[in-house]
Amino acid sequence: MCSSLEQRVALVTGANKGIGREIARKLGAEPNLRTVLACRSERLGTAAAEELRACGCDVSLQRLILTDTESIAGAARHLRDEYGKLDILVNNAAICFNDPTLYGKVAHTPFEQQAGISVRTNFFGTLEVTRAMLPLLRASSSPRVVNVASAAGRLSILRSQDLVDAFTAPALSVPQLEQLMREFVEDVEAGVHAEKGAPLHPGMLPRPARLHHTPAWPRCCRLGQHMLRHEQAGTHRADQGEAFGA
């Protein structure tokens, strides 16, 4: 348990708008809690930080891009040097192609071109951020990881029982999940994903990996909690494919 007087630190990805900004607003209003807005756009991030500060929120800004390894490492270094720990990680940032609200405002992206960037950003980017922040989370007396997704990530989007079984296997490891995501991208790009029972929209499959409410994903959705529990208990098993820090 952390003391009510202890200075805490939260990092919220994609915090310059929408749900991310509102999460940052709520956290930033908490006493003794500095909320770091992790944003791709410095311009939008600065505007959000100024708005939240005007509301009395304790926030700061850090540039972070889910597809940029150096920006992720830089954010981790900044938190380490500035605070020495991280108490709360909120994985909120993601991309969505061809959103109905954007029709006519942005160029349409063909279906087969969406899978790679969607999975690379929403799944692998989130995974990389979580891994980078683990040393800082371990330094907290009460670490928390929150993964934000949507109901579009429910298991019913999988039209193959083999895929359902693979994603809900009790022994599913993170490396195995990574391979499933790579195979999905390959199948979409090859035009064979439909016959294999994969989702018909390439942006959907990364969502179950972040949907922490789904009981079928206890080892993969609750990635940070799973890693922290094993690290703290000293039961991390690299020989079981759980090389989280790799």
**Distance (Å, whole) CA 149 – CA 209:** 8
pLDDT tens-place string over residues 136-193: 999 999 999 888 877 666 667 777 788 777 777 788 788 888 888 888 888 887 777 7
Residues 6+ apart with CB under 8 A from 188: 111, 112, 114, 115, 198, 202
Question: Any idea which residue has 């990635």 for tokens?
Answer: 223
How many residues are listed for the chain in this entry?
A: 246
Render pLDDT for 188-215 as a digit per residue (tens, 0 to 9).
Answer: 877 777 766 666 555 555 555 454 333 3
- Overall average pLDDT of the 92-111 stretch: 68
Beta sheet of 88-91, edge-to-edge order: 59-63, 33-39, 8-13, 88-91, 144-147
Residue 25 φ then ψ, to 5°: -65, -45
Closest CA to 33 of 91, 87, 78: 87
* Token pair for 31: 């006493």
Q: What is the C-alpha to C-alpha distance for residues 117 and 240, in angstroms, rounded to an integer?
A: 29
Residues 41, 43, 44: CA angle, nearest 5 degrees: 70
pLDDT in tens, 14-70: 999 999 999 999 999 999 999 999 999 999 999 999 999 999 999 999 999 999 999
CA distance 114 to 40: 19
Exposed, middle or buried: residue 152 (CB in 10 Å: 0-12, 13-18, 19+)? middle
Confidence at residue 208, expressed as pLDDT on a 0 to 100 scale: 52
- Average pLDDT over the chain, rounded to whole? 77
- What is the model's pLDDT at position 4? 58
- Percentage, residues of the chain above pLDDT 90: 43
Q: What gap in Å lies between CA 234 and CA 215, rounded to an integer?
A: 24
